[in-house]
A and B are shown apart, each in its own frame.
With several copies, the nearest count.
Chain A
Amino acid sequence: MKQHRMRLIEQNQPAPGIMRMIFKAPDLARNSRPGQFVQIRVTDTFDPLLRRPFSIHRTHSNGTIEILYRIVGRGTRLMSRTRPGVRLDGMGPLGNPFQTEGNFSTALVVAGGMGSAPAFMLIDTLLKTGKSIHFFWGVRCDDEFFHLEWLRSSGVELHLACERGDTGHQGLITDILEPMMNRYPDSKGFVCGPKPMLEKMQRMIRTFPIPWEVSLEEKMACGVGVCMGCAVRVGQKIQMVCSDGPVFDLREVDFGS
């Protein structure tokens, strides 16, 4: 939990509208765990003002970390124009990680859209534990898939779905997950993705009593639990996504609607 001057080493575009930044930030790389995030200041000026939160996508033993982001607004647009060599101010690692330890033999990793950002570091970590990994990955258009070769060669069992395109199931990732879930009683689930998907997952897992962790997103100002801006109701209590989360027990989250 510190401020880092992260030097941008490379920026590339793994899929249309999606950017990957690789930073040199040894401390951050060493101390980050899957599910944690970094709050990046995108400019020295005061517009845009607030930091932007991004999951840590991957870390590497050479002291680099990656983030993966979709260009959605003013902050990410500015970021996408940042050139290698520039140092960005990043706070992190923030938040609580996924719990990858435990007595389960199979990990069900479910990612929708940009949920793939934290999923890769989660998979990297799970691979080291020797558990078998099923990765359920849903996107809108199949050009958003990347690293499929590497995933397969690493022994990850891939289940793909897209709303447009030819790769995998044509539809939502929850469509393929639902009928398969019961095959893995000795498993633990990890979910990240857009809110509608998370709500659907919450309904789906009612009858499937393995532990499920979810990573939530909320608009953030501070990222460290002081502003009370990122409140969510979890297990009857108001919790802060940034400091109490972003990883919570999926069953306990109150999605409000």
Chain B
Amino acid sequence: MAVDLQVRLGSLVLKNPVLTASGTFGYGVEYAGYFDVSRLGGIVTKTITLEPREGNPMPRTAETFAGMLNSIGLANVGADCFIKEKLLPLEPLDTAVMVNIAGSSPDEYEKVALKVAAHERVDALEVNISCPNVNKGGLAFGTDPEITREVVRRVRETTVKPLIVKLTPNVTDITAIAQAAVEGGADALSLINTVLGMAVDIETRRPLLARHVGGLSGPAIKPIALAKLYQTVRAVSVPLIGIGGIMTWQDALEFIIVGATAVQAGTLHFVDPCGAVKIIEGIKTYCDEKGIGDLSSIRGSMEDGGA
């Protein structure tokens, strides 16, 4: 008996729980030469904003130990161009398409959501209130429960499609933000976005990122992501999508055991472009070997005490 990897995020059924994280998989087809993208549970696009954005000054990335910093600054083609040019290549793909959106005001979130959600190839919206790399919106919104509730409420009014709200780890109490997002109408939460970080070149005495601080991702942050998920699982009852340093199927299973319904891999793609498929295969094998017929039987099954 092979395991059924199907999972549900609100009204959306995914064929498996492995998604790509926003900003690390382009507009969904750039890795098509490396593997069959239709094998994924879903893809999450780069964040789309109302107007096109060039992004932050260079340099925008830096490697750190078992991690990387980025300060891309939501560089994207803008909602109109996205709808006109980027959705078409996704038509033939047999996988869920989730569009990540952001704005610099609740109003802008609403506007971009209205534009994007209307398109039938869009299966769900992921609302990014957690980007550390922009001055307005982004992280500032995601650290305040009131604004979080307001932004989510506004986006909620634009669509009946599943609404995922993406949370930042850069807060004292992630559960307060999680609850606010659910109150605003989120069908699911995804966490974590990147952790605020920095690196310095000691020869030039300049920060490695032009914008000084950026977002840390990769294996380094996996323990942080798991702890935030662990806290959030106990605070809300909507499905959660685990993100942060997932590089292997073992990593993905850690998140599922703690309570994630699905996972997103980001930095992984840069290290191993076919890594997401290996995660799907690995989860399958694990379940088959252990006689697990359905992921729900291990989701949130973590027991007490040390390993």
Contact = CB atoms under 8 A, between A and B. Distances in A.
Interface of A: 1-3, 41, 46-51, 89, 91, 218-232, 238, 243, 256
Contacts of A227: 23-24, 61, 70, 72, 270
Interface stretch (B5-13, B25-33, B282-290, B293-301): B25-33
Contact of B30 (A41, A50, A224, A230): A224
Chain B's interface size range is: 35 or more
Secondary structure type dominating chain B contacts: loop
Contact of B75 (A1, A3, A231, A243): A231
B269 interface: yes
Given A228-B46, A238-B54, A222 B269 contact: yes
A53 to B, nearest CB: 11
A3 B54 CA distance: 30
Contact of B31 (A218, A219, A221, A226): A226
A219 B59 contact: yes
A230 B64 CA distance: 17
Given A2-B34, A219-B59, A219-B61, A49 B219 contact: yes
Interface of B: 23-26, 30-31, 33-34, 46, 54-55, 58-68, 70, 72, 75, 218-219, 247, 267, 269-274
Given A228-B46, A231-B75, A221 B273 contact: no
Nearest to B20: A226
Contacts of B267: 49, 221
Given A1-B33, A49-B65, 12 more contacts: A3-B273, A49-B66, A49-B67, A49-B218, A49-B219, A89-B272, A219-B60, A222-B24, A224-B31, A226-B46, A229-B61, A256-B58
B55 A231 contact: yes
A48 B270 CA distance: 12
Contacts of A47: 65-66, 219
B75 A238 contact: yes
